[in-house]
């Protein structure tokens, strides 16, 4: 029987957040729990917190409720392959096994942007959209999800596309805006414009969805961009990782 509820847990640089998700609506069934990411975010330290979050909710969930976890890196068949903005000890760690062992039940591990993209496609800004949808999350790094007719092509790392001789996320992520003290206007015209132009010229998407905390301020920068592709803010904001992790776990 198809699952109606799943637990999603989203590992970020500053917080690890989880909530049970109603898979019909993409809404949280209980308020989310957030615990600070440990300063040394090693696999063992992070697994302890993921276990603590799961413990908070599993008693109220069906015994077979799927559990999905996100991480800000490439995840190939349960193994973490990159760690651009997390502890380097994650590289080649068997993340899915580490979490499944810590929780004593199976978990699915996915890239954070992939989860957010699935959430926006099923419940948010790209709901019902056919063709190629590209979600970009602008945060500490740039995460990308590619979905073609609703089907995810996982681990697309075009946040690291070389643009004007630089790794794009070092110039166009919202962390670069903060670090360099750029105005929305400067950031949009000198950083986002070349980045999105490069993406649309290479991939010819039908829709861009812009996520990450800064998407709340999208009215300050999206109208400044000149693109042939429609570009819209994400709707699920910081819930997208949790919701997408839960949805992908239920598909697994």
Rule CB under 6 A: which residues touch ligand BGC?
72-74, 82, 84-85, 111-113, 137, 141, 143, 157, 159, 169
Q: What are the Cα distances from residue 112, in Å, to 41, 87, 135, 189?
A: 16, 15, 11, 27
Least distance (Å) between residue 84 CB and ligand BGC = 3
Shortest Cβ contact with ligand BGC: which residue?
A: 141
| Nearer to ligand BGC (CB atom), residue 84 or residue 107 | 84
At residue 32, φ and ψ (nearest 5 deg) are -75, 155
| Nearer to ligand BGC (CB atom), residue 66 or residue 73 | 73
Least distance (Å) between residue 97 CB and ligand BGC = 19
Least distance (Å) between residue 222 CB and ligand BGC = 19
Cβ atoms of 84 and 13 closer than 8 Å: no
* Packed helices 112-123 and 240-251: angle between N→C axes, nearest 10 degrees: 90
Question: From CA 151, how far away is CA 8, in angstroms rounded?
Answer: 20
| Nearer to ligand BGC (CB atom), residue 82 or residue 218 | 82
| Nearer to ligand BGC (CB atom), residue 68 or residue 141 | 141
Backbone region of residue 123 per phi and psi (left: phi > 0; alpha: psi in -120 to 50; beta: other values): alpha
Question: From CA 166, how far away is CA 160, in angstroms rounded?
Answer: 9
Residue partners of 224: CB distance under 8 A and separation at least 6: 184, 185, 188, 189, 193
Least distance (Å) between residue 82 CB and ligand BGC = 5
Least distance (Å) between residue 176 CB and ligand BGC = 12
Cβ atoms of 210 and 69 closer than 8 Å: no
| Nearer to ligand BGC (CB atom), residue 211 or residue 233 | 211
| Nearer to ligand BGC (CB atom), residue 174 or residue 218 | 174
Least distance (Å) between residue 160 CB and ligand BGC = 6
Q: What are the Cα distances from residue 163, in Å, to 11, 15, 199?
A: 28, 30, 10
Give the closest residue to 142 by CA, choosing from 119, 118, 167: 167
Least distance (Å) between residue 48 CB and ligand BGC = 21
| Nearer to ligand BGC (CB atom), residue 65 or residue 109 | 109
DSSP per-residue letters across 155-180: ---GGG-EETTEEHHHHHSHHHHHHH
């Amino acid at each position: 029987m198809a699952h109606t509820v799943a637990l999603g847990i989203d590992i970020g640089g500053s917080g690890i957040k989880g909530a049970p998700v109603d898979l019909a609506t993409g809404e949280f069934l209980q308020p989310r729990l957030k615990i600070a990411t440990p300063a040394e975010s090693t696999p063992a330290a992070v697994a302890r917190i993921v276990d603590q979050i799961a413990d908070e909710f599993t008693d109220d969930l069906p015994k077979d409720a799927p559990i999905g976890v996100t991480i800000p890196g490439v995840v190939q068949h349960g193994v973490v392959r990159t760690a651009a903005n997390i502890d380097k000890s994650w590289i080649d760690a068997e993340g899915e096994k580490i979490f499944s062992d810590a929780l004593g039940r199976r978990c699915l591990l996915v890239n954070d942007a992939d989860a957010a993209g699935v959430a926006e496609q099923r419940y948010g800004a790209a709901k019902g959209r056919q063709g190629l949808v590209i979600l970009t999350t602008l945060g500490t790094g740039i995460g990308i999800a590619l979905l073609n007719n609703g089907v995810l092509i996982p681990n697309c790392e075009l946040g690291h596309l070389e643009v004007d001789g630089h790794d794009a996320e070092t110039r166009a992520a919202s962390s670069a805006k903060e670090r360099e003290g750029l105005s929305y206007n400067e950031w949009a015209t000198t950083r986002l414009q070349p980045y999105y132009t490069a993406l649309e010229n290479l991939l010819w998407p039908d829709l861009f969805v812009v996520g990450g905390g800064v998407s709340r301020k999208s009215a300050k920068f999206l109208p400044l961009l000149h693109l042939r592709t429609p570009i819209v803010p994400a709707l699920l904001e910081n819930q997208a990782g949790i919701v997408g992790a839960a949805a992908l776990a239920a598909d697994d």
